[in-house]
Structure 1
């Protein structure tokens, strides 16, 4: 089976994007779990009940804000290629190369 260099590059690029997304997601889960644990422990030591500490908006603020960033990252990896097409990058590169060629001809 012969492998096209361009196809290999595309596949490798997709794998790298997936790897970065899953790494980002894992870091999000681990760090926010640690932040939540520390926040709840700190608040319960300050006199709040577990429920008050756990269900406080400030406990979930980092989950929400960072979660929006994760959602944008997920969209760029999974949703955007479906909307603009898998060959969008190649079309843009070709467009810019053509524009540069036309500009240099003048």
Structure 2
């Protein structure tokens, strides 16, 4: 069990390290593009450095969410653990019902009778169309 926990932790650390490296390269290349654009701005009078940086920024954002999950969202590690516990509980209770079919709790529905209300005109509710 300890080995499994260690391997999961090691995998998570490698994923975080990969994200930080990816983000560092993104910042370095972004700074390089900005400096190149600033030095050549007077030739074309256009800011172009953000064109390659925007799609890469979207990729960085996706990489972040794949490593860290949505903060407090449905895809976090806590949510995953909670859903796993729910599913285990559901499957165990289903297996128990399959093993002991006679011990099921059954709901008995009793027929409800509507109270008849006498109206001043002498007619009943069930006589209305």
Shared fold, TM over 0.5? yes
| Equivalent residue pairs, number | 78
1:41 and 2:39 equivalent? yes
State the match for 2:80 in structure 1.
Answer: 85
Structure 1: 5+ residue stretches without partners:
87-106
Moved beyond 2 Å, runs of 4+: 83-86
Which protein shows a greater Rg?
Answer: 2
Q: CA RMSD in A?
A: 2.6
Superposed displacement of residue 42, structure 1: 1.3
Structure 2: 5+ residue stretches without partners:
82-129
Higher relative contact order (CA 8 A, sep 6+): 1
Superposed displacement of residue 47, structure 1: 6.0
Query: TM-score w.r.t. structure 1 length?
Result: 0.63
Query: TM-score w.r.t. structure 2 length?
Result: 0.52
Superposed displacement of residue 13, structure 1: 0.3
State the match for 1:63 in structure 2.
Answer: 53
With over 3 angstroms needed to count, the CA separation of the structure-2 counterparts of 1:4 and 1:38, relative to structure 1, is same
Equivalent residues in 2 for 1:1-106, closer than 5 Å: 4-44=2-42, 46=43, 48=45, 53=46, 56=47, 58-79=48-69, 82=76, 85=80
